Each structure stands twice: as structure tokens, then as C-alpha cells.
């Protein structure tokens, strides 16, 4: 390119540039004129109107936070209420140097470093012109001392506020949940729901549990007060107020005393128990141990407590009843038995001769029974009573995985129950289609065998297990489990009952149900795996023990004493009582509890006794010697067993390796 | 001796820009004094901010132009790295991840991008001066859209829009085809009903609140209602300095920062507004003149974009306060309280000065 051409390009380019610049300048001028037109409209044409508004604008609108609804159990025991307390608050927009103000205030009232930290955090979260508490729960003396010096502290005020209180502390904490400040995410969610005008950013909102699920009922409607102010912006008198409407009260199906007993029976064990009233689906108790004290969250949890809760290896913030997934183990067997009977693969009289193992096709892989040498001649009744693995290995093979999936799926295992608490996970009831989708692999017969005793890919939540037990106790009628039974309107005191609607019915033959029920009753009688737990019961207790492996052991005897506590098996028990007219159905899972018969079943017995008679069992509570009693003994591994990775209980994810359990309890 | 020192210090300062900036800043201090209920502390703090900002302006004004174009890409890269760091480790304030804690002070990298984006785009187009093809505009577009996406995710829509605008100005001044511009405009207007149907309910409600603020008087509408009352009640001549009831009775939120113009308009009226707009208009006109006379494509594009972005600040802020634009967090240059925006603005002004005072050195 010659120098001449380049120069000409430069000239033309400059010309184009200046033209574009001129166009931009013209547009800018036009927009300025538009602004000026707007100013003229506001300041000249509409001036009188706005002058009037400004003169009237000595009135400030103050939101009045409604009284949050109470949460009350079925007997009137209060689980969540409110108390009024005086707080010392600062309006950042009205004070200069905030640190200096706090320093001066600390000479009048006690201000701890925890108070300061909370204040700093709120300062970043809420807008400048709202008032932020620096101290809560002022004593009468502190109020008097500050009131006398109030004039020295412009922008600082004392306000009466309502605080949420959970009188029972950590009892039922996973059910009730807690409230906290409205976060950005909450705020956006409120915008989507269109209820954002009912909140200000310094308000509280339900974060977890019933507090979260029933936020709309509990919250009420925010009121407004029109306050006339003086030249300093201080309130002179109230002109008009629209009173807030209190939130509605929740009346639960839950029995707080039963809940307390159910939590106590766990002792130091971790785990979960869910008890359901079979005739309604009402949740009588929902335990996830350990729990937490929701009162810690009310005024904003401080970092130490938060870290302690979050980093604890016991995961106290995790609701195991809804979010923990575990293999159901032998508690799966009654449902397998029903499947065999209903689908015509087994008759009540059909027997096998159990020699202690099962072999695919008579010559393939060997699956061991938990009892060395086997149980001898076993029909279906005995198979449930002694928890015979061999019987159910064969049944599983004859049924096939898809029939198992379709039949047992009706009991809600492997899908969400729809309980009125957020965060439930689905668990897993495997099928051929699922394995293809998940691993891109076809289903093997060997996969089916361990499913028969509730192991393999099976993963259920304690809630699902309790729900399935309630359906069984209820002869196949299905109710959606629910914690809240009634809602009481705060204005009319009118009760709205959430009617227990049967949401389905599994057609089951009465004689089949009877067989399974009788066998489950015999589980808790002499000769059954939970005989010790049923000893001395004044009612017919139907139950089934279960043990689910946490870790596979290779070529060594399972010795409970020598195994690390966290690698011990999980203990399970499902039960309902009285067997002929069930009032309570439950499932209990004790993490690393060892065996279902020794750990879980006695706990369940105590809870059921308490529910039916208001007392605890009288028998001595020591672990019985297995001698004489046909106790469940830990699973016996086979030498060629690959180590198994326990499913991650906290994320609801599934084991990635194709883990196989070839022996159950 | 002192005269020589002043001559040395002022060698690269443009007198007209300096006078306009000083006048606007003085008005800003006066308004701030009123908006803060006569707090001399606030005025002092803003003056301290000014000293820092003036230093930055002086430095910018003394950077030789060839040096500036060499700095463009490294500055942009640094900004990008910082933005990514913010996305990963940034501090969350008011629900948005914008700040980077550098120990001594906190820093908002998106602010740097407001200058780095026009700088790098001007540098990029300068490199391909002779042959500007579609490809160059595509790459130029990417150069500013990537940081825009990062900033929008923080989320900081106001700053994202300003960076978009600054990038667009460079593309426009570099000769983006009119057909393309008209096309984008037409497609944009034609797809309005379609976009409307895609919005979430709450997003629609926000737009509707702009059209009728009384729909949500305590939420998003509150700012607009109170600031239009302040403007309208000011009338032709205003209520007089320190006599605005809207601000002094505490009705105007954010009256020291984003809504300070409402305080000014209430106390000085339509004539005051006119005066302020004339001062800003002169500042922008001076910037455009500097751009038109700049020696290289790089400096032309940079000066043009910086000036237009200054105009955008003013227009968006005044439009928002007077209720014709939605509320986005954009301060009024030189008037609003706050150090960060003051530094950014005066740094831009410094660059304009450098472009003007170094132009002979380039030509010869």
C-alpha cells in the first residue's frame, strides 16, 4: 500500500469518525432536552401537585410485623411461640460514625463482641435506613438507663420486638425447623411468588421444616402505620394504622411427648425414627438424631455455633428421616413375601430346604444365608419369623427385578412420600430400566438375588419405610404422611382440618395380608428374631428386624467389638401395633447400631409401649445373651467378597461400584 | 520557583476541563453538605476522596500516549483476572459478589473494567486501522461481552450495562455498519412483545412499577415516588439551600449517593437543574472536541468513548431520579458521595487531558 493511499484513507476515516461523533453528540443533546422536558413537566406543570404532596409528606409509613402463628402438638404442647422483648436499635442512615456510636452506647448498656459481630453482619445485609438491633432482650434497668440519656443518642431507639421461641429446644427440631432473616435468595423467591410486599428485608422467614413449608400460613399479613414526624424525623403521633393480621396456628398430628421418648431411646446413637398413625397418615413422631437447638438461629446464629453444627461428623443439621438413604435390609422381606403371594409365585405351604446357601441355577454363584448351616425346612411364615435369606433369594429370582420394582413400588419405597416438610429425597428402588440409564449396563440375575433381602442397589429413607409399614398395617390403603393436622385461623379461630384423604389403595388378598401379619407378630414372640424385644408385651406387636451393611469385610469374621464404630452395621426395625387394629406404625434406623434385633427393636418397643399405655416396658434393659434365643447374628461374609463402599448417606447419591451383597442377616 | 513548579504540574492539564470539573465538584460538596444534614465530616471525607482522585487524574494526564496504548492490553488482562478472582473468592456484600479484599482496602474490579474496556477496544481497532473487517467487530464485541457477562453474574446489572455501553461506543465510533445498528434496533423493537411474554412475573412487575410507582409504594416504587416529589416540589427556583423538606425530613433514601440529584433539584429548582445540565453539557462538549482533534485512531476512539460514557452516567442518573428510567445503581459524576466513582471519573478526565495535551508530540 503506497503512502499516498494511506494518507487518503486517513482523511476519509477522520471524516467518518467526526461525522459519527457529531451524530452521537446530537443524540446526547436530544436526550438532554428530553430530560429537561421531564424536569419542566415535574417542576412547572405538576409543581402544585407535588408541592402539596411534599407538604403532606411529614407522614412516614412504618410496617407493623404480624404475630407469627404458633406451632402446637396434638395435645396442646407448644413447639413454637413468640415473646416480646425490648431491643436497642441503630438507624445507620441517621448516625455519622457507627463505631463511635456503638462505643458510646456500650457505656450505657452491655454490648458483647457477639452483639457487635451480629450487628456488622446485619449492617451489610439490610438497607441503611432500616433500624438494626445492636442489643436484644434489654433488662428493665438498661431500658431506664438508656431512656434517661436518649437525647444524647440521635438515630438510636428502643423498640419492642417479637422473637420466635422454641420452648422444647432440640426436641422435634427437624420437624419444626427455624426462622432466620430474609436472605437475597428468599427475597427473589418471594418476588416470584408475588408475596414480596408482605416482607421487608429485616424481617424473618421460615428456613427449614414446618416453619418453611407453612410460611404463608404462619406469617400473617403485614400492617402499616402512618406516623406524623417532626422536623427531626421523630414520630409525633400515629394518624392511621392498618393493623397486621396474625399468622395462623398449626396444630400437629405429632405427639410431643412421644417424640421426646423416641428421641431419648436413641441415647448416644445416631439415626432416625418415624411413627405414623396408619388410619390417617398423621406423623406421630419424626426423629433425626442428633438434632440441634433452633433457638440458636432466632437472632442470627453466631459463627462458632454455626461451624460446630456444620462441621460435626454427626451431621446434626441433616434430617435423616427425609434425607438419609439406607438399604432397608431384611425389613424388605414382608413386602417381598406379599409380592410372592400376590403375583402367584409362592403359596403359603410352599417350602424349601435351606442348607445355608443359595445358588443361581443350582450351580452358579453362591449366596449365603446369615445362619451357617441354614434353617432347615422353611415355608413363608417361618422365612419371615427367622428372617431366612435363602428363601427370599429364591423368591427374588423367581419374581424378577421388574416385578419386584413394580409391586413394592406401590408401597412408596424409592419415591418421595409427599410429606409436608421440604427436602425429601427419593431413594432408589432399582429396575432394569434404571440400571441401563444409570450405568449403561444390563441387569444381571445376580443383581436381583441381593435385592430380595433388601440389599444391593436398594436405598430407602426411614420415612419411606415407616410409610410402607403404615400401608401394610392399613391393609393396603395409602395416606400421604403429614405432620400438620389442622390450621387455626387467627381471626375467626376456625379450624381447618387437613382431611386424611386416601391417595391410593393396593388390592391385596386378606388371607395374604393375614399370613404376613401373623408372621410379623411371631417375629416378636419366642422363636422370632425380635423375641426379646417383644417379651411381656400386653398387645400383639407385629415387627420385622433388619440389618444393613455399611462396609463389606473380606475373609474375616464380623466381630462387632473390634470393628470401628462407624463401620458397624445399621440396625433397622419396622413395626405396627396392636397387630389386629394398628394405632401406630413405625420404622427405626440406628446408624452403626449393630443388629436390628439387639438395638433397634427394643427402642421401637419402648416407643410403642409409651404410645399405647403411656409407660415404658418393665423388663430389664440389658442386652440379652444370644444363647438359647434365636437371635439375629451378624452377617457372615464369603471369602471372595469384594469390599463394598457404603452409600453416601448425606447426599442421596448412589454407590458407583456395582456393589454386591451376597449375604444378609 | 513556585511559578515554575505550577507550570510543571499544570503542563498537561486542560484548563477548560479543570474549570468545569472544579465547578461541578463544588456544587457536589454544597449539595452533600445539605444532604448529610450539615455534616462537615461527610464533606471532609469527600474532599479526601477528591485528593486521591486528583492525583489519579494528574497521573493519567501525564502518561504519554504511546505508553497508554502499550498499557491497554495488560490493564485489560489484569482486570479480567481480577474479575475471575472475584467470581471465585469475592466478598459478598448485599447479596452481590463484587468486592475483592486486598487486605489494606477492598477493591471492585468491575470499576476498573469501565476504563479498561474502552482502552483495550481502542487499542485493538487501532492495530487494524487500515483493514476493519466484520471479523474485527466480532472480536471487539467478544472483548467487552465477556467481562460484561462476568459482571452481570455478580450480579451488578448497572455496571454491566455501563460496560456494555462503553464497548458499544467504541464499536460505533470505529465504524460499525449503520445497517447493523439499524437492524439491531429494529429486531430489538420487534421482539419486545415476545420478550415481554418470556419475562418472569416479578420482572414484569418491576417494569410496571416504573410505569406506575404507586403499585408498590414501599418497595421498588418508594425511591421513585419520593424523588419525583422532591423534584416536583422544588418548582422553578427551588426551596433554597438546606431547606429541602424531602431530604431533611428523611424521605429520600440514598440521598447522599445515587439520589443526590433529587436533593439538588429540590433546593435549586428548574433553573438550578438547567445550570447543572449546562455545566455537564460543556464538559461533554469539550470531551467531544478533544476526541475530534485527537491525533490517532486509538486516541480518537478512547476520547470519544470516555466522553460518551460520561454522558451516559449523567443521563441514566438524572433519568432514574426523575422517574423515566428504572432504578439502577449509577451515581451522578462529581456530585454523588463516594470515592470509587470519583476516582474513575477523574481518571477518565485525566486521560482526556493527556490525549489533548500530548497531541502535538505525536504529530511531529
Give A411-426 pLDDT, tens digit per residue.
Answer: 999 999 999 999 999 9
Burial A1-21 (b: 16+ CB within 10 A, else e): eeeeeeeeeeeebeeebbebb
The burial of A40, by beta-carbon neighbours within 10 Å (0-12 exposed, 13-18 middle, 19 or more buried), is given as middle
Please answer yes or no on whether A17 and B300 come within 8 Å at the CB atom: yes
* Phi and psi, residue A598, nearest 5°: -85, -35
Contact B201 A194 (CB under 8 A): yes
Asked if pLDDT for residue B15 goes beyond 80, the answer is: yes
Give the one of B270, B281, B315 whose C-beta lies nearest to A40's C-beta: B270
The whole-angstrom separation of Cα B362 and Cα B350 is 18
pLDDT: is B155 or B54 the higher one? B54
Tell me which residue has cell 409509613.
Answer: A61
Q: Which residues of B touch A1 (CB under 8 A)?
A: 130
Residues in A 468-507 with any Cβ partner in B closer than 8 A:
none
Distance from the Cα of B66 to chain A's closest Cα (Å) equals: 19
Which of A47, A54, A181 is the best residue to mutate to test the B interface, defined by the most B CB atoms within 10 Å of its own CB?
A54
Flag if A54 and B230 touch (Cβ within 8 Å).
Answer: yes
The overall average pLDDT reported for chain B is 85
For chain B, how far is it from start to end, CA to CA, in angstroms?
Answer: 30
Instruction: State the average pLDDT over residues B214-230.
Output: 74
Torsions phi, psi for A338 (to 5 deg): -60, -40
Least CB–CB distance from A43: residue in B94, B172, B269:
B269
Task: Enumerate residues 205 to 244 of chain A having a beta carbon within 8 A of any beta carbon in chain B.
Answer: 224, 229, 231, 233
| A569 and A594 Cβ atoms separated by less than 8 Å | yes
Does A28 lie at the interface with B, CB-CB under 8 angstroms? yes
- Residues A118/A299, Cβ–Cβ less than 8 Å: yes
Chain B's closest residue to A122, CA to CA, is B94
Q: Is A24 an 8 Å CB contact of chain B?
A: yes
Backbone angles phi, psi at B101, to 5 degrees: -90, 115
Q: Which residue of B has its CA nearest to A97?
A: B41
pLDDT beyond 50 at B33? yes
Report the distance separating Cα A107 and Cα A117, nearest Å.
18
The rounded distance, in Å, linking the Cα atoms of A230 and A246 is: 31
Residue B31 has pLDDT above 50, yes or no: yes
Residue B284: closest CA among chain A residues belongs to which residue? A25
Residues facing A242 on adjacent strands: A224
Alpha carbons A600 and B75: distance in angstroms, whole number: 66
Note whether A30 contacts B: Cβ–Cβ < 8 A: no
Chain A neighbors of B217, CB-CB under 8 A: 61
To the query of whether residue A597 is one of the catalytic residues in this protein, the response is no
C-alpha A552/C-alpha B300 separation (Å) is 74
Q: What is the pLDDT of residue B73?
A: 92
Catalytic residue of the set A202, A330, A431, A595: A330
Handedness of CA B176, B179, B181, B187 (dihedral sign): negative
Residue B142 has pLDDT above 60, yes or no: yes
Taking phi over 0 as left and psi of -120 to 50 as alpha, with beta for the rest, B92 belongs to beta
Under an 8 A CB cutoff, do A39 and B245 touch? no
Q: Which chain A residue has its CA at the smallest distance from B201's CA?
A: A192
Q: Which residue has the higher pLDDT, B282 or B181?
A: B282
Stretches where chain A sits below pLDDT 70 are 1-9, 56-60, 93, 125-130, 201, 229-236, 362-363, 551-564, 618-665
Q: Which grid coordinates are listed for B92?
A: 459478598
Decide: B359 and B298 in contact? Cβ < 8 Å.
Answer: no
In angstroms, the Cα distances linking B144 to B83, B330, B345 are: 13, 19, 19
Which residues in chain A are contacts of B173 at CB distance < 8 A? 17, 20-21, 24
Q: Does A17 touch chain B (CB under 8 A)?
A: yes
- Chain A contact set for B253 (CB, 8 A): 93, 127-129
- Interchain proximity B172–A20, CB inside 8 Å: yes
Closest A-chain CA to B318: A35
Which three cell numbers mark A139? Answer: 433488662
d(CA B297, CA B122): 8
* Distance between CA atoms of residues A606 and B19, nearest Å: 87
Is A476 in contact with A412 (CB distance < 8 Å)? no
Size of interface A-B (CB pairs under 8 A): 157
Q: Does residue A44 sit at the B interface (CB-CB below 8 Å)?
A: yes
Predicted local confidence at residue A137, as pLDDT: 84
**Rounded Cα distance, A603 and A621, in Å:** 10
Partnered with residue A588 across adjacent β-strands are: A273, A573
Instruction: Encode A262-285: b = buried (16+ Cβ within 10 Å), e = exposed.
Output: bbbbbeebbbbbbbbbbbbbbbbb
pLDDT at A332: 94
CB–CB contact A43 B235 (8 Å): yes
When CB atoms are compared, the residue of A24, A47, A94 closest to B235 is: A47
Q: Would you call A237 helix, strand, or coil by DSSP?
A: strand
pLDDT higher than 60, residue B156: yes
The total of other beta-carbon atoms located within 10 Å of residue A335's CB is 24
**Nearest-neighbour CA in chain A from B9: distance (Å):** 31
Question: Residue A636 has what pLDDT?
Answer: 31
| Strand A249-252, strand A71-72: pairing | parallel
Cβ distance A49 to B232 less than 8 Å, yes or no, reads yes
Do residues B24 and B279 touch, judged by C-beta distance below 8 A? Answer: yes
**What pLDDT does residue A54 have?**
81
* Cα B166 to Cα B330: distance, rounded to the nearest angstrom: 14
Higher pLDDT, B16 or B149: B16
Q: Specify the pTM.
A: 0.61
A342 or B254, which is more confident? A342
Is residue B55 predicted with pLDDT exceeding 90? yes
**Residue of A22, A50, A230, A234 best to disrupt the B interface, most CBs of B under 10 A:** A50
Distance from C-alpha of A246 to C-alpha of B122, rounded to nearest angstrom: 61
Question: Residue A186: phi, psi to the nearest 5?
Answer: -60, -45
User: From the list A21, A125, A224, which residue is nearest B304 (CB)?
Assistant: A21
In the prediction, which pLDDT does B355 show? 92
pLDDT surpasses 80 at B246: no
Strand ordering across the sheet containing A542-548: A282-289, A270-277, A584-591, A570-577, A542-548
Facing A57 at nearest CB: one of B251, B288, B323: B251
Share above pLDDT 90 across residues of chain B, in percent, rounded to a whole number: 42
Site of grid cell 459478598: B92
The C-alpha cell of A520 is what?
Answer: 410379623
CA-atom Rg of chain B in angstroms:
21
Give me the residues paired with residue A504 across strands.
A478
Q: Are B137 and B176 in contact (CB under 8 A)?
A: yes
> How large is the C-alpha radius of gyration of chain A?
33
CA distance B279 to chain A (A): 12
Instruction: Give the number of residues written for chain A.
Output: 665
pLDDT digit string, tens, across residues A353-404: 988 888 887 667 888 888 888 888 999 999 999 999 999 999 999 999 999 9
Mean pLDDT throughout B110-135?
Answer: 84
Q: Residue B273: its chain A contacts at CB < 8 A?
A: 36, 39, 43
| A contacts of B202 (beta carbons < 8 Å) | 188, 191-192, 194, 196
Secondary structure class of A504 (helix, strand, coil): strand
Amino acid at each position: 500500500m503506497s503512502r499516498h493511499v494511506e494518507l487518503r484513507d486517513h482523511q476519509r476515516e477522520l471524516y467518518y469518525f467526526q461525522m459519527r461523533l457529531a451524530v452521537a453528540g446530537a443524540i446526547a443533546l436530544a436526550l438532554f432536552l428530553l430530560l429537561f422536558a421531564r424536569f419542566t413537566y415535574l417542576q412547572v406543570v405538576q409543581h402544585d401537585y407535588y408541592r402539596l404532596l411534599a407538604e403532606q409528606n411529614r407522614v412516614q409509613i412504618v410496617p407493623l410485623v404480624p404475630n407469627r402463628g404458633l406451632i402446637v402438638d396434638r395435645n396442646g404442647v407448644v413447639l413454637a411461640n413468640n415473646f416480646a422483648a425490648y431491643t436497642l436499635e441503630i438507624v445507620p442512615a441517621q448516625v455519622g460514625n457507627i463505631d463511635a456510636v456503638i462505643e458510646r452506647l456500650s457505656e450505657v448498656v452491655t454490648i458483647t463482641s457477639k452483639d457487635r459481630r451480629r450487628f456488622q453482619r446485619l449492617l451489610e445485609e439490610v438497607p441503611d435506613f432500616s433500624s438494626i438491633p445492636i442489643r436484644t432482650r434489654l433488662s428493665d434497668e438498661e431500658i431506664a438507663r438508656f431512656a434517661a440519656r436518649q437525647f444524647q443518642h440521635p438515630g438510636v431507639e428502643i423498640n419492642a420486638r417479637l422473637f420466635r421461641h422454641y420452648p422444647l429446644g432440640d426436641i422435634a427440631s427437624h420437624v419444626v425447623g427455624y426462622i432466620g432473616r430474609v436472605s437475597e435468595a428468599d427475597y427473589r423467591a418471594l418476588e416470584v411468588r408475588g408475596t414480596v410486599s408482605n416482607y421487608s428485608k429485616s424481617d424473618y422467614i421460615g428456613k427449614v421444616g414446618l416453619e418453611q413449608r407453612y410460611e404463608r400460613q404462619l406469617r400473617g399479613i403485614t400492617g402499616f402505620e402512618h406516623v406524623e414526624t417532626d422536623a427531626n424525623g421523630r414520630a409525633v403521633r400515629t394518624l392511621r394504622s392498618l393493623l397486621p393480621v396474625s399468622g395462623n396456628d398449626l396444630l400437629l398430628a405429632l405427639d410431643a411427648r412421644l417424640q421426646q421418648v423416641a428421641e431419648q431411646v436413641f441415647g448416644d446413637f445416631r439415626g432416625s425414627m418415624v411413627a405414623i398413625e396408619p388410619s390417617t397418615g398423621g406423623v406421630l413422631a419424626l426423629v433425626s438424631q442428633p438434632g440441634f437447638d433452633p433457638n440458636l438461629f432466632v437472632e442470627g446464629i453466631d459463627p462458632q455455633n454455626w461451624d460446630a453444627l456444620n462441621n460435626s461428623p454427626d451431621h446434626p443439621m441433616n434430617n435423616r428421616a427425609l434425607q438419609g438413604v439406607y438399604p432397608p435390609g431384611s425389613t424388605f422381606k414382608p413386602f417381598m413375601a406379599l409380592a410372592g403371594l400376590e403375583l402367584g409365585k409362592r403359596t403359603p405351604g410352599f417350602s424349601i430346604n435351606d442348607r445355608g446357601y443359595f445358588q443361581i441355577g443350582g450351580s452358579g454363584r453362591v449366596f449365603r444365608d446369615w445362619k451357617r448351616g441354614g434353617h432347615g425346612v422353611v415355608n413363608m411364615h417361618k422365612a419371615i419369623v427367622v428372617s431366612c435369606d435363602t428363601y427370599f433369594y429364591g423368591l427374588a429370582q423367581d419374581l424378577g427385578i421388574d416385578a419386584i420394582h413394580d409391586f413394592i413400588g406401590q408401597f412408596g419405597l424409592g419415591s418421595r412420600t409427599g410429606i409436608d416438610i421440604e427436602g425429601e429425597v427419593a431413594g432408589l428402588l432399582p429396575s432394569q430400566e434404571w440400571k441401563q440409564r444409570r450405568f449403561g449396563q444390563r441387569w444381571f440375575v445376580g443383581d436381583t438375588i441381593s435385592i430380595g433381602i433388601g440389599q444391593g442397589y436398594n436405598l430407602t429413607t426411614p420415612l419411606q419405610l415407616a410409610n410402607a409399614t403404615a400401608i401394610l398395617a392399613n391393609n393396603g390403603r395409602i395416606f400421604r404422611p403429614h405432620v400438620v393436622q389442622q390450621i387455626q385461623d387467627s381471626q375467626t379461630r376456625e379450624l381447618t382440618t387437613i382431611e386424611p384423604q386416601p391417595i391410593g389403595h393396593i388390592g391385596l388378598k386378606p388371607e395374604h395380608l393375614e399370613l404376613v401379619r401373623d408372621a410379623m407378630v411371631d417375629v416378636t414372640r419366642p422363636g422370632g428374631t425380635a423375641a426379646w424385644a417383644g417379651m411381656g408385651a400386653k398387645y400383639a406387636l407385629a415387627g420385622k428386624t433388619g440389618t444393613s451393611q455399611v462396609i463389606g469385610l473380606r475373609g474375616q469374621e464380623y466381630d462387632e467389638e473390634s470393628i470401628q464404630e462407624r463401620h458397624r452395621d445399621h440396625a433397622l426395625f419396622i413395626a405396627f401395633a396392636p397387630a389386629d387394629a394398628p394405632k401406630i406404625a413405625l420404622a427405626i434406623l440406628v446408624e452403626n447400631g449393630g443388629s436390628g434385633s439387639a438395638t433397634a427393636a427394643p427402642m421401637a418397643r419402648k416407643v410403642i409401649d409409651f404410645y399405647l399405655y403411656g409407660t415404658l416396658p418393665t423388663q430389664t434393659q440389658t442386652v440379652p445373651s444370644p444363647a438359647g434365643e434365636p437371635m439375629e447374628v451378624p452377617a457372615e461374609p464369603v471369602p471372595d467378597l469384594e469390599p463394598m463402599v457404603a452409600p453416601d448417606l448425606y447426599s442421596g447419591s448412589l454407590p458407583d461400584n456395582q456393589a454386591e451383597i451376597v449375604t444378609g442377616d | 520557583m513556585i511559578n515554575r513548579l505550577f507550570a510543571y504540574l499544570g503542563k498537561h492539564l486542560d484548563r477548560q476541563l479543570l474549570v468545569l470539573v472544579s465547578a461541578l465538584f463544588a456544587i457536589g460538596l454544597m449539595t452533600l453538605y445539605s444532604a448529610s444534614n450539615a455534616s462537615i465530616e461527610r464533606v471532609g471525607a469527600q474532599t479526601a476522596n477528591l485528593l486521591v482522585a486528583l492525583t489519579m487524574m494528574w497521573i493519567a494526564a501525564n502518561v504519554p500516549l504511546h505508553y497508554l496504548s502499550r498499557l491497554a492490553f495488560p490493564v485489560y488482562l489484569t482486570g479480567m483476572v481480577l474479575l475471575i478472582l472475584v467470581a471465585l473468592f469475592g466478598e459478598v456484600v448485599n447479596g452481590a459478589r463484587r468486592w475483592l479484599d486486598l487486605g489494606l482496602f477492598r477493591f471492585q474490579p468491575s470499576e476498573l473494567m469501565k476504563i479498561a474496556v474502552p482502552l483495550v477496544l481502542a487499542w485493538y481497532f487501532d492495530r487494524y486501522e487500515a483493514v476493519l473487517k466484520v471479523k474485527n467487530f466480532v472480536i471487539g464485541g467478544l472483548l467487552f461481552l465477556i467481562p460484561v457477562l462476568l459482571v452481570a453474574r455478580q450480579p451488578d446489572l448497572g455496571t454491566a450495562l455501563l460496560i456494555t455501553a462503553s464497548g458499544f461506543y467504541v464499536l460505533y465510533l470505529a465504524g460499525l455498519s449503520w445497517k447493523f445498528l439499524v437492524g439491531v434496533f429494529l429486531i430489538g423493537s420487534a421482539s419486545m412483545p415476545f420478550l415481554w411474554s418470556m419475562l418472569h412475573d416479578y420482572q414484569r412487575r418491576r417494569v410496571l412499577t416504573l410505569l406506575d410507582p404507586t403499585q408498590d409504594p414501599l418497595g421498588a416504587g418508594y425511591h421513585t415516588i419520593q424523588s419525583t416529589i422532591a423534584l416536583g416540589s422544588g418548582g422553578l427556583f427551588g426551596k433554597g439551600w438546606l431547606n429541602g423538606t424531602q431530604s431533611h425530613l428523611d424521605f429520600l433514601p440514598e440521598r447522599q449517593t445515587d439520589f443526590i440529584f433529587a436533593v439538588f433539584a429540590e433546593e435549586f429548582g428548574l433553573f438550578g437543574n438547567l445550570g447543572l445540565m449546562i455545566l455537564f453539557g460543556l464538559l461533554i462538549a469539550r470531551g467531544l472536541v478533544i476526541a475530534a482533534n485527537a491525533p490517532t485512531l486509538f486516541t480518537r476512539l478512547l476520547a470519544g468513548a470516555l466522553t460518551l460514557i460520561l454522558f451516559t452516567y449523567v443521563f441514566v442518573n438524572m433519568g432514574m431520579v426523575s422517574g423515566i428510567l428504572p432504578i439502577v445503581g449509577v451515581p451522578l459524576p462529581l456530585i454523588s458521595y463516594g470515592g470509587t466513582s470519583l476516582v474513575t471519573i477523574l481518571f477518565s478526565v485525566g486521560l482526556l487531558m493527556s490525549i489533548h495535551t500530548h497531541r502535538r508530540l505525536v504529530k511531529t
